[in-house]
Amino acid sequence: MASRLERGHTRVVGFADAEMDFQLIRQMGVARYGGAAVGECLALAQRIENGLPSSWVAAFAGAAARQQADAEARAARGHAVSARDHYLVASNSWRAAEYYTPVGDPCHAEHGLASRACFEAAMQLADAWTCEAVTLPLDGVALPAFHLRPAGESGPGKTLLVISGYDGTLEETFLAHGRAALERGYRVFLFCGPGQMDTMRYQPQRPFIPEFERVGRLAVDHVLARADADPDRIALMGISFGGYFATRIASHEPRIRALVANSPILDLHAYMASFTGFDPADMPDSDDFRVGDIDQIPDSVMPAQLREMSRNLMLRFGCDSFKETYQRLREFRVDGERLAAMGCAALGLVGSGEGAEPMAQYERFLAAVPGAQGHVFTAEEGADGHCQSGNLALSAAVSLDWLDEVFA
């Protein structure tokens, strides 16, 4: 008789490194909406070296290429549903590879553009919704965006604009939030601004800007110019850093009728400094380091993953040093008087495990915005992490049910 029962070789084992483990949860979380397979993600994790970004990139880029080839083969044989589903998985795997690829590496844009190509191929095969790729013009730059609506609906209806954050993409935002909104009858407009991943694919020299209300104005203009938008039911959702972008937009844009901030970020500098344990904006010049210094820093001083995250942060905020980057972050704030004057319905979301500063800014948001409501997700729900990556269906239920009630 066998000494033990074994039904497969895949194991539910993540990473000792907290950030890489979060990225694995993030990847698996979109399985609910067709962006991954849990077993495949766990199998890939077994081939990735803990805390080593290059091994993550190699594993997910290899998987993405295989998944894309499989989707193309199924499409060629006329299996539209299977091809659509595999294209979505491939798109998200390319995104995972894009995430850990250094911004200055040509493969960063290549992986991102491959993610977009697979997403667009999936959209061409979709029958439950339509998808249109558009751009928003800002300072001579074409900002990528997608407009989606449920199939068969063309008249004026409720519209949800969604903006992601530091490393989210339009394609991932569709999987994590857009598809859930489409299922509830929303027209969905996914958009981004300078410095965000989708724009970086085409314009890597364009850093983040504090005044995201300029981007928001373009997005609202575009949506309201369409015949399928009801101006009385225009909502805006911000994810991660998008909690800052969306809150700042809503504080300037009276045409937004409802805001979902997940989570609300009123002071991006304080938010980011909370993760370092000190304020790099005030660090001694002797401790500061520049982009050109990164590759000379030994692992014993700064692990490989932290080096790449620091390099990407400096480049994407258009700064040459770590200290200068945090000084620049001080400009990314939402004005308190504008918050107090906001007239739209507002919902703040936060996970109980996100940390003291995100929770403090969530509380400030509820206190500052007239009539704002809030919801705290818990560890018991598997949703206490950043943006509820471990339980996206619950996040959608809380945010979109609230929005349905606001628009009822």
Which tokens belong to 48?
A: 């990735």
Number of neighbouring beta carbons within 10 Å of residue 131 = 19
Question: Which residues have CB under 8 Å from 197's CB, separation 6+?
Answer: 98, 112, 164, 167, 168, 169
The pair phi, psi for residue 254, each rounded to 5°, is -70, -15
Q: Are 374 and 347 in contact (CB under 8 A)?
A: yes
Cα–Cα distance for residue pair 198/135, rounded to 1 Å = 11
Using alpha carbons, select from 239, 387, 266 the residue that is nearest to residue 333: 266
Q: Which among 93, 115, 164, 240 is annotated as catalytic?
A: 240
- Helix 322-329 to helix 304-316 angle (10° resolution) is 50
Give residue 17's identity as a one-letter amino acid code: D
Residue 240 a catalytic site member: yes
* Active site positions, annotated: 240
